[in-house]
Amino acid sequence: MKRIIVALLLISAFALSACTNAQNSKPENAPSDSNAVSQKATADESGFDPYAVKNTYDIPDSYFEKKDGVDYGTIQKDVNYYSTTAGDNKQCNILLPAGYDQSQAYPVMYIFHGFSGSHSDQIDTDSYVTLLYGNMLNDGLTVPMILVNVDMYTDKQSDKDSKTDEELRYIYDKAIDDVAVDLMPFIEKNYPVKTGRENTAVAGMSEGGAKSLCTGFKWLDKFGYIAGFAPDTGVIPTEYYKGTFWNTPVFEKLPQPTEQNTPYYLYMAVGSKDPWNIDCTLYYRDVLNEMGVKNQTDLVDGYGHDYKFWRQCFYIYLTKVFK
C-alpha cells in the first residue's frame, strides 16, 4: 500500500512540475494572460499579430545593397492605364516578385512617392525598395507580393511640368480616388492578384504618407494595411502649417472604422530629427487613439526626413503585411 501511495505522489508531483514548466516556457512574444483577449482581437486570421512585434530601426545597409545570386524580380516600367479621375492616361511602375508565376495569385501593395516625386522613386532598377524587397524575400522575411509604385500626379499629363507646388498639392489629392477607382481595377484585370482588403496594402512617405492615410481611410473596404512614414499635414484639420495649402484637410474628421473594416495593421513613424512632420504625425496618432483605432506609431531617435528613414520603415512594414 505504501508503495502505491508513494507512486501516486510521484506521478502527481511530475504532472504538476510539467504543467509549471509549460507555463514558464511561453515564447518571448506570447501575450500575457492579462492582455490575451486584446491580443487575440487584433490578430488576423492566421493568428499573427503585427502589433505584438516591436519595431526596430537598425536594419543593416546590406539589406539595401545588390547581392550576387539574389533574384530581385521583374520591374515593369511606365505601365500605362487610363484614369477616369485624371481624364487622361497615367503611368505606374510594377515590381513582380522573384519566382513570379501567372498561375498563382499575389497580394498587392500600392506605394505613394513624396512631394514632386514620381512613380519610379521606389520601384526602379536598383532602387532601395526593389533591392530591399528582393533581399527580404530571398531571406524569407516577407511574402511574395506585387508592388505598384503610384504616380500621384492625377491630371492632364501634358500640363505636369507647369504646375506650382500649391497646384500639385491639390492634384495629388485626386490620387486618393484614382488608386481605388482606376488603378486597382486595372491591376486586378491584368495581373494575377488576390482581391479583398486582407490582400491589399497602401504605404507612402511625406506627402505620399498623407495620401496613404487618406486612401486607406476613405477606402477602408479595400485596404486592410495602411502605413504613413512621416506623413504631411492635410489629412484632417490641425494647428500645424495652418492657413497654408499644406494644411487644407481632405477629411474634416477621419472615418470611423467598423468591426468589419478595421485595419489589420495601421503603422506610422517619424524621425526625431524630422524638420517638418513630428507634430502632425503624433497628432494623427492621438486622434486615432481617441477614436479607439489601434495603431503602431513610432517616434524614432536619430532619423530625419529622407530615404534613410523610409527604407527602415519599409523593412518593418514588409515584415508585417499579409502574414
Task: Specify the pLDDT at position 6.
Answer: 35
Q: All 3 cell numbers of residue 53?
A: 512585434
Q: How many CB atoms lie within 10 A of CB 10?
A: 10
Kindly list the averaged pLDDT for each block of 10 residues, start to end, along the chain of length 323.
Answer: 36 37 33 30 67 97 96 98 98 98 98 98 98 98 98 94 96 98 98 98 98 98 98 97 95 98 98 98 98 98 98 98 96
Do residues 108 and 199 lie in contact, with contact meaning Cβ atoms separated by under 8 Å? yes
Query: Which three-class secondary structure state does DSSP give residue 197?
Result: helix
**Cα(178)–Cα(154) distance, rounded to whole angstroms?**
7
| Long-range contacts from 195-199, C-beta under 8 angstroms, 24+ separation | 196/224, 197/221, 197/222, 197/223, 197/224, 197/261, 197/264, 198/44, 198/45, 198/224, 198/264, 198/322, 199/107, 199/108, 199/224, 199/322
Beta strands 74-83 and 88-96 are antiparallel
CATH superfamily, region 50-320: Alpha/Beta hydrolase fold, catalytic domain (3.40.50.1820)
Interval 170-198: pLDDT, tens:
999 999 999 999 999 999 999 999 999 99
pLDDT of residue 45: 58
* pLDDT at 21 (0 to 100): 38
Beta carbons within 8 Å of 265's beta carbon, 6+ residues apart: 50, 51, 224, 225, 226, 227, 296, 320, 321
> What is Dmax (Cα atoms) for the chain?
99
Give CA separation, 3 vs 7, 16, 42, in Å. Answer: 6, 20, 52
Letter string b/e over residues 176-214, b meaning 16 or more CB atoms within 10 A of that residue's CB: bbbbbebbbebbeeebebbeebebbbbbbbbbbbbbbbb
Quote the pLDDT of residue 22. 35
Domain ranges of the chain: 50-320
Output the pLDDT for position 47: 87
Mean pLDDT for the chain overall: 89
